[in-house]
Amino acid sequence: MKARQFDRKFDKGEDVTAHLDVSRARRTGQEPRRVNVDFPEWMIGSLDKEARRLGVTRQSIIKIWIAERLSRSPA
């Protein structure tokens, strides 16, 4: 498909995903990076308790809380 055809379909609101190769697509700024953080034992216990309550992993609850906090703060 030529770019003009693709653009026309897209501009009309048609589904163009079948014409895309997303096998190597990346979200800029979303690549994971490993960070090691040491927490006191009492904090790990509290994190695990809250994670179980919400049905998520410890790592997920940490990510959720950090993301929530960062979204409230002006950059």
Query: Would you place residue 75 in the very low, low, confident or very high pLDDT band (cuts 50, 70, 90)?
Result: low
Question: CATH code for 35-75?
Answer: 1.10.1220
pLDDT (tens digit, 9 = 90+) per residue, 3-38?
999 999 999 999 999 998 888 888 888 888 899 999
SS3 51: helix
Q: What is the pTM of this model?
A: 0.59
**Domain ranges in the chain?**
35-75
d(CA 5, CA 27): 25
Q: What is the mean pLDDT of the chain?
A: 92
